[in-house]
Amino acid sequence: MGSPHAEGIPLRELAARCGAELAGNGEVVIDRVAPLDNAGDGAIAFLSDPKYRSHLARTGASAVIVAPADAQGTALPKLVAANPYAAYAQVAAILHPRRPPLPAIHPTAVIAAGARVAATAAVAAHAVIGERARVGERVEVGAGAVIGEDATVGDDCLLHAHVVVYARSVIGARTIVHSGAVIGADGFGMAEDEGRWIKVPQLGRVVIGSDVEIGANTTIDRGAIGDTVIGDDVKLDNQIQIGHNCNIGAHTAIAGCVGIAGSTTIGRNCKIGGAAMISGHLEIADGTMISAATGVFESITVPGIYTGVFPALPHREWKHVAGAIRRLRSVLWRLRALERGQNDRES
Looking at the DSSP bridge assignments, the partners of residue 32 are 43
Which helix or strand (DSSP H or E) is residue 341 part of? helix 328-346
Task: Find, among 23, 27, 44, 26, the residue nearest to 35 by Cα.
Answer: 44
Inter-residue contact 156 to 136 (CB < 8 Å): yes
Whether residue 244 lies in the annotated active site: yes
Residues 6+ apart with CB under 8 A from 132: 112, 114, 115, 116, 149, 150
Residues 6+ apart with CB under 8 A from 46: 33, 36, 64, 65, 66, 84, 85, 87, 88
Burial class (CB in 10 A: 0-12, 13-18, 19+), 72: exposed
Catalytic residue (one of 55, 162, 178, 244): 244
Instruction: Give the C-alpha separation, 275 to 57, whole Å.
Output: 37
Residue 149's CB is within 10 A of a number of other CB atoms, namely: 15
Rounded CA separation 212/209 (Å): 6
User: Measured in whole angstroms, how far is the alpha carbon of residue 90 from the centre of its chain?
Assistant: 18
Centroid of chain to Cα 34: 23
Question: How close are the terminal C-alpha atoms of the chain, in Å?
Answer: 79
Length of the chain as a residue count: 347
- Contact (Cβ atoms closer than 8 angstroms) between residue 118 and residue 104: no
Residue 56 backbone dihedrals phi, psi, to 5 degrees: -65, -40
CA distance 208 to 248: 10
Burial of 193 (0-12, 13-18, 19+ CB in 10 A): exposed
User: Which positions are annotated as active-site residues?
Assistant: 244
